[in-house]
Structures are given as structure tokens and as C-alpha cells.
Structure 1
């Protein structure tokens, strides 16, 4: 049954996603608001497919306020990268720059407001990223970051990448850590996706201005709250 569900999901969600990409590409001249609407519509398609085809449900524990916050998410599957587009009205997601160079999708991501992160770039790229992040916060868009840098198997607790500390220090905004357990039902690099509940647990807001070690410790503990 798990194999059949996974086959149906793959056969329906990915071709439909291609149609969304093509439609959104045609809407590029309409600007960012159109891209944001298209992304939210794609997120609703994803929610429909995971719910109806895979038997997965989403549970959010706590409140996710909109506005100038830096959200940091546990990262276990592709699942949350799409769900974020529906959980917020207009999130600004920080993502590795390679994704914004993908054919078709990369242009749409940049038009939506995805902020490229050049991991090995110098000061010029860092300043460009900070300017983009500052503009997003000024527009009351929540910034969304996966501070571990990549998807990790459920239960693992790698240290945070250094990029989080830099953003925390320079942006001076409250941090909202979010734990999740998508890897239990949609394991990394696995075709099979199991039914179950994916929980997003919102942790205590971390104020700006804390020492780096304390901020990182509180974030690390909060985003791993579902790994016990």
C-alpha cells in the first residue's frame, strides 16, 4: 500500500508541478504578487496530494506570527520547503544559490523573493544577501532559514551552520525556532512515503542581542525538540 501511494503521488504531483511552473513562467511579467499567489497555489496542491494520496496530515503546535521574524526550521525532507509557502502569506526563503540557477524554476524563485545564499562566496555576496534580507523584513515578510544547511535524517542533530549566527547578529530581529519530524514519513532520498502526521512545533521566541553561543544553543535545542 505504501508503494502504491508513493507511485500515485509521484505520478500526479510532479507532472502537475511542471504545469504550475509553466503557468507561473507565463505570469512573470505580472510581478512578485503573482509569483506569491502561484507559489501558495502550488503549496495547496502539495497539501492536497500528501493528504489524499499519501495519507499524511499536518499539525501545527503553536502560533506562527507573520511579520519581521527570522524563522529557523529543522530540515528533514522536501516536505517542509513546500509547506512553508502555504504556512505563511508571503515568506522570504533563504536557499542555497544553486537552486536559483535551475532552469525555469530558478527565475520563478528569484521573482518570488527567494534570497540566494552563496556558501563559499566573499563579502560582496554576503552584503547582497543582507540587503535582500533587510528589504524582505521591511516589507513585513518573515525570513525562513534551514540553519543545518541541508536535509538530515530524522533523529540526527548536526550543529548549525555559521550562517545563522551571522544573520542573527546583523539583522537584530527575533528568532522563531520550529521543530518538525517530516523525516519519519518522508525519509531523505527515499521514494517511499508513509502515512502519518507531520508536526510543526513552534518554540519560544528568541530575542535579538544574545551572545552567539546562547542563541545557537537555544535554536539547536528548539528545532530538535521532536527528535527525543
Structure 2
């Protein structure tokens, strides 16, 4: 029965994405605020239906970032995207270029200021973004980046890439680390969704001024430590798990 409910949840989730995308489209085309409102409404819908259909509750902890900041987050599944974007006032992502062509997602992502990057060419995207910020062309808001570059399953080790540190160093913006345990309940692949409490936690801000490798070491330590604590709270010991 849980698998059936998970399947129905996923079906309605993508159906509602298309419906909301079409309903909000006229407003989104003329207003960036309209595009953000559509995306935030969808985030609330996913959280509500996850709780009602599969018993998956969600929670955002910590001080929600405001203003011009970087958010460097652990990335385990689509759910952490939903929770972070739904919490911040003007989120925008560094995203894979292929998503530009995805129906609904691509058009709205560009409208809210997301930055598409090609696989293996993240450095070029960061260089371009630094130039945009310098000349004031970038869309204001909270830039969300995943330092490991992709979704990482709970218990799997993966390095934090230097691109985030370069962005931190060159933009001079504060960085808010974010931890999560969502992959325990909503895996990066597959249909099945588990009941429980999925959490994204915003951690204390890292102020500008650190050397990039010192920053990267601190970021990795804080994000991994907090994520492991959230997973342990949910009954999963990441430190003693061998994938």
C-alpha cells in the first residue's frame, strides 16, 4: 500500500507541476515575482501532499537566509530543492544546462534567475556569474549551489568541489551552509517515499574573508557534521554506514 501511495503521490506531483506551470504562466511572463510565487506555491503543494499521502513530514530549521548570500547545501534529492526554495525569499540555483529544455521547469528556472551550466564547465559558469555580479546584471537573491555537484545518497562519501569556494572568494558574499537528511525518505532515484520527518537545516553564516581552501574545509566539515546529525536523529548512522 505504501508503494501504491508513493506512486500516486509522484504522479500527482508532476501533474500539478504542469497544471500550476500553465495557470501561472501569464503572470510569470510579465513578472519575476509571479514566477517565484508559482514556484513557492508548488513547493507548498508538494510538502502538503507528501504529508497527507505518504506520511512524510517536512521541516526547515535555522535562520532563513535573506539578502545577497550564497547557500551551499547538501543535495540528496528533489525534496531538498523544494524545502530550500520554499523557505528563502528569492532563491536561484546553479543548474544543469539540460534542464533549460525541460517543460515547465526550464522556463520557470530561467525566469527566477537560475544559472545554467554545462557538465564539466562549471568554472566557466562561475566566471560568467562573477562578471554579472560585478556589473549588477545578476538577478538579486540567494544563490543556491550544491558543492558536491550532484545528488549524493545518505552514507556515500563525495568531495566538495572548489567551484563553491571560488564563488565565495570572488563575490565576497556571506555563505550559509545547509544540511539535510531528506535522502532517507525521498531517494535520489525511484518511486518509494518513506514516512518520517525530512529536515533541511540552515547553519550559522560563514562571513566573507576566508582563503578559499580554508573556507572549503570549514564548509565540508560543518555541512557533513550537521547532515550526519540529522540522519542519526532519523535512525541512520552515516558515519558507520558503508555504501
TM-score (norm 1): 0.89
The corresponding residue for 1:74 is 74
Q: Work out whether residues 117 and 129 of structure 1, in 8 Å CA contact, stay in contact via their aligned partners in 2.
A: no
The corresponding residue for 2:47 is 47
Tell me how far apart the structure 2 counterparts of residues 125 and 143 of structure 1 sit (CA, whole Å).
Answer: 13
Alpha-carbon shift at residue 126 of structure 1 (Å): 4.1
Partner of 1:22, secondary structure, is helix
Alpha-carbon shift at residue 18 of structure 1 (Å): 1.1
Partner of 2:207, secondary structure, is coil
> 1:107-159: per-residue Cα shift (whole Å, max 9, x none)?
221111112223434876444322445648783x1111111111011122311
Tell me how far apart the structure 1 counterparts of residues 123 and 214 of structure 2 sit (CA, whole Å).
Answer: 26
The corresponding residue for 1:26 is 26
Structure-2 change in CA distance of 1:122 and 1:176 (3 Å):
closer
Aligned runs of 1:1-228 on 2, under 5 Å?
1-121=1-121, 125-132=125-132, 135=136, 139=140, 141-224=141-224, 225-227=226-228, 228=239
What is the Cα-based RMSD across aligned positions, in Å?
2.2
Q: Work out whether residues 76 and 188 of structure 2, in 8 Å CA contact, stay in contact via their aligned partners in 1.
A: yes
> 1:181-213: per-residue Cα shift (whole Å, max 9, x none)?
011001121210100111222222212121222
Tell me how far apart the structure 1 counterparts of residues 81 and 145 of structure 2 sit (CA, whole Å).
Answer: 10
Alpha-carbon shift at residue 164 of structure 1 (Å): 0.6
Q: Work out whether residues 175 and 205 of structure 1, in 8 Å CA contact, stay in contact via their aligned partners in 2.
A: yes
Q: Work out whether residues 67 and 142 of structure 1, in 8 Å CA contact, stay in contact via their aligned partners in 2.
A: yes
Alpha-carbon shift at residue 84 of structure 1 (Å): 2.1
Q: Work out whether residues 123 and 163 of structure 2, in 8 Å CA contact, stay in contact via their aligned partners in 1.
A: no
Instruction: After superposing the two structures, state which structure 1 stretch, 97-106 or 185-194, moved more.
Output: 97-106
Q: Work out whether residues 65 and 176 of structure 2, in 8 Å CA contact, stay in contact via their aligned partners in 1.
A: no
Partner of 1:226, secondary structure, is helix
Q: Work out whether residues 136 and 143 of structure 1, in 8 Å CA contact, stay in contact via their aligned partners in 2.
A: no
Q: Work out whether residues 173 and 208 of structure 1, in 8 Å CA contact, stay in contact via their aligned partners in 2.
A: yes
Structure-2 change in CA distance of 1:193 and 1:132 (3 Å):
farther
Structure-2 change in CA distance of 1:156 and 1:176 (3 Å):
same
> How many pairs were matched up?
227
Tell me how far apart the structure 1 counterparts of residues 162 and 123 of structure 2 sit (CA, whole Å).
Answer: 15
Q: Work out whether residues 115 and 133 of structure 1, in 8 Å CA contact, stay in contact via their aligned partners in 2.
A: no
Unaligned runs of 5+ in 1: none
Q: Work out whether residues 133 and 143 of structure 1, in 8 Å CA contact, stay in contact via their aligned partners in 2.
A: no
